Structure formats: C-alpha cells, structure tokens
Amino acid sequence: MKKKFRRIALGIDIGGSGIKGAPVDLKTGMFTEDRVRIPTPENASPDTIANVVKEIVDSFDLPDDVPVGISFPAPILRGVVPMIANLSQEWTGIHADELFFKKLKRPVTVLNDADAAGYAEVHFGAAHGNPATVLVLTLGTGIGSALVSAGTLVPNTEMGHIVLPRGIEAEHFASSGVFEREELSFEEWAGRLQEVFSYLEMLFSPDLFIIGGGISKKYKKYVPLISTNAPIIPAELRNGAGIVGAALMAYQENKKADKLA
Ligand code: BGC
C-alpha cells in the first residue's frame, strides 16, 4: 500500500547568533506552530550545537517520522562540512548528516543556509514562479549565496568568499556583521554593497537579486542607493526562509529515499 506522507517537516536554522526551529506546512510554506529560538552558544563544539538542535526538536510534539531539515552556515557536500567561516573550526570535516541523525533519531537533511533560504524563496517567496536566473544573497554574520536558474538550485556557491577587485573577501567587507561592528552609516554600507553587487553582476549576470537576512527588513534604507542592471528586491520570507527551505528539502529528500527503499 502506498505510504501516506504528511506534508509537514521540521525546519531548523543554525545561525551565528541564534538557533531557530518550527514545523512547516509544505503546502503553504507557513509555520504550523510558533518558532522556538535558543541563542547559539559561543564557540560551541558540534556536539553542543547538536544538543541545542535536539532541545528545539523535542520542544515540538511531532511523530517520529516527521523529517528534520537543518540549514547550516557552511557548504555541505554529501552531508560533510568541508570548511566553515563563522562557527567553530571543529566542524571542518564533520559528517553533519550523521551527527544530527544520531542525536535526533529521525530522517535528517542538512544543507547550506543560503541555499535553504533561496530554495524557500523560489517555492514560496519572492522568486516564486520566476523562470530566470535569480541570485539570492543573505546578509548576516557572513554573506551567503544561492544561485537558482529556472527554479533549479546550484548548491554551495559560496559567493561571500569571492575576493573583490580591492583585494578583500566580500563578507569581510560588506556583511551586516561588518556594518554593525564598524558602525557604518547606511550610505557607507551601500557603497560597499555596490562593489559586491557590481562584481557579482559582472560574473553571473542574474536577472534578479534577492537579499535576505534580518537586515533585509530595512532594505529601503540602502537598496535605493545601489545601482545594478538587475533589480534588487527583499526576500519575502525574511527570517523564516532558512527554516522553510530546510523543511522543504528534508521533506523532498525523505520522500525520494522512501521511493528508493
Ligand atoms: C559561509 C556560507 C554561508 C554564509 C552565510 C559564509 O561564511 O561560508 O556557507 O552561507 O556565511 O551564513
């Protein structure tokens, strides 16, 4: 008999300052319960982070077969973290899928945070139904990127680490973390973002830029100061995009695995 799938998955977003989670209804892309947030412990080991994730998962009363998607701030290659910029270096080389699966004892899918956000925007948000090439940039502690063309995601693009013509990595120059740390004005920050957008536009010629991350809420203060050929619009799902994208990916991967079994 065909197994009946609930169209629900739990999304978890691991960020530099907070770890957040909520169950997501994948028909609508909406949370089915209020989001739970726990501050990210500083310089925490992978095991400590996995315990926080477990605490969030356990705070929801969900059946054991509901899959968990985890949005993680590093590239994820077949479940492994090849390098990491903004959490403990202990993550390098760790098989994240296995670590979380052992802790949670549920189907788990781990993916890059910007990819999760981009995937969510394509399915439920600002890029929904857009057949063009869309470049999503998340502005947070670092700069994340998701490149989506005709609805297909090219994972792990890592554009925040592109070295700008002035000789500095994009995320060391223009992330919202830098904006806060260096107490830049919006005008100064827009000037820096201009260099990032112009360079990425020259390299990838997207038809549309979407900016995500908490600071995308204030886009009116800096986006009008940046000039590009492609329009720049804010993410629609804002802070929820990582959770929704991770939940959707976990749901789809789990369904695929079930078909193959
Ligand atoms: C990481 C990316 C991540 C981005 C945003 C970068 O430092 O290398 O994988 O998407 O930060 O968190």
- Least confident range from 25-34, 63-72, 102-111, 127-136: namely 127-136
Q: Residue 249 has what pLDDT?
A: 95
Looking at every residue in the chain, the average pLDDT score rounds to 94
> Atom 12, ligand 1: which residue's CA is nearest?
73
Q: Whose CA is nearest to atom 9 of ligand 1?
A: 74
In this structure, the residues whose C-beta lies within 6 A of any atom of ligand 1 are 73-75, 85-86, 112-114, 138, 140, 142, 144, 158, 160, 171
Nearest atom in ligand 1 to 86's CA: 7
CA 151 – CA 170 distance, rounded (Å): 26
Helix (H) or strand (E) holding 197: helix 186-204
pLDDT in tens, 160-211: 999 999 999 999 999 999 999 999 999 999 999 999 999 999 999 999 999 9
| pLDDT for the residue numbered 130 | 77
Q: Can you tell me which atom of ligand 1 is nearest the CA of 156? A: 9
pLDDT over threshold 90, residue 38: yes
Pocket-testing residue among 71, 91, 112, ligand 1, by greatest number of atoms within 8 A of Cβ: 112
Q: pLDDT tens digits, residue range 221-250? A: 999 999 999 999 999 997 789 999 999 999
CA 106 – ligand 1 centroid, Å: 26
CA of 84 to the centre of ligand 1 (A): 8
- Which of 130-139, 218-227, 250-259 has the highest average model confidence (pLDDT)? 218-227
